[in-house]
Amino acid sequence: MGIPGYSADRTLAAFKRTLPRGRAWPRGTDTVMHAALAGFMPTAARFINAARSIVPDVFPATATSVLDEWEATLGLPDPCAGNSPTIQQRRNQVVARLADTGGASVGYFVQFAKNLGYDITITQFSPAQADFLCADDPVYDPFWAYVWRVNAASTTVTYFSADQSYADDALAVWGNAVLECEITARVPAHTSVLFAYG
């Protein structure tokens, strides 16, 4: 995410507009005031640009230099992240943890997975009931009322992206280990979760 920078000339022009009016504050480029201010403006422009470059780090979805601090705040990295997650995978995990409000609904888990970078659906099972079964329906015993299945792509591939990846990131990373680990950690205690890919 590029933020346009301030040049020394642009900074000087902006600073001169803030000066009071009057003979003691000349605006011309051939004055001692202009020369004195122009000497300070390269440093001022550097400070302004450095301060503006921090803006993306305020948001975890675009954080770079303070990503480690975001992770430390949320107890990351943890075993769910794997051995060498990409910057984008780390950001996704931070965003998912920050946005996590808790819950046990289908919508909660679908949104949580989406924040991690996965598109899933959830299948819920119900025990067999005589008046509701069709000829080709599977027959489940009463314990299946406490089982649900996460359906995801067979392999989620995260590709290198020039605007979001870094030189040491892999060109492609695949797998659903983060999804399984994060979902399993949030499963309601009285239920069991299955994962299906394809």
59 domain-assigned = no
Per-residue pLDDT, 1 = 45
Q: Which one has a higher pLDDT value, 37 or 84?
A: 37
Q: Looking at the structure, tell me whether residues 26 and 124 fall in a common domain.
A: no
Segments forming the whole domain that contains residue 46: 8-53
Query: By the 8 A CB rule, do 147 and 191 touch?
Result: yes
Report pLDDT digits (tens) over 113-147: 999 989 999 999 887 777 777 777 777 788 888 99
Is-above-0.75 flag for pTM?
no
Number of domains within the chain: 2
Average pLDDT over residues 109-116: 94
Of 145, 151, 140, 128, which Cα lies nearest the Cα of 188?
145
Q: Looking at the structure, tell me whether residues 43 and 72 fall in a common domain.
A: no
Q: Looking at the structure, tell me whether residues 20 and 99 fall in a common domain.
A: no
The secondary structure element, H or E, covering residue 172 is strand 172-174
